[in-house]
Amino acid sequence: MHGDVIILTLRHPRPVRRRVSFIPNIKLLVGFSIFISEIFYVSIHNEPMNQEKRALLILMLFIGSMIFILLIEMSQLISHRLAIEERRLLRLVGWIQEALIITMSGTMIYWILRTPVEPPVPIPA
């Protein structure tokens, strides 16, 4: 008794020629710019902050920056089916975006630290 013969042929998948779209990256930068401008508005138009509010604002800015940088890194993970040149271009644009976010965050933290601190209110005895 002879059985059927199964022949398997394996081949590498062809790389699909795709165009790199930077629209998600631009949306991330616009979202980060709105986030930064809201923090800038709060720090400019309010009365002098006490140390707790200042620390909370800096912490919120730092966490927001990290979230946006992680979103940029995650958007670069999808590029495994792109050509090598397009992957390099996407990585370069990601690095530029991360540098821009770090520069904006550093400037805002410097601005917040430069604003005067409200002196602590003495507690009446």
pLDDT of 29 reads 80
CA distance 86 to 89: 5
Q: Find out whether 95 and 23 touch, Cβ atoms under 8 Å.
A: no
Q: pLDDT band at residue 18, thresholds of 50, 70 and 90?
A: low
CA distance 32 to 25: 11
**Residue type at position 80:** H
Stretch 6-28: mean pLDDT, rounded?
A: 70
pTM, two decimals, is: 0.65
The number of residues making up the chain comes to 125
CA distance 27 to 42: 23
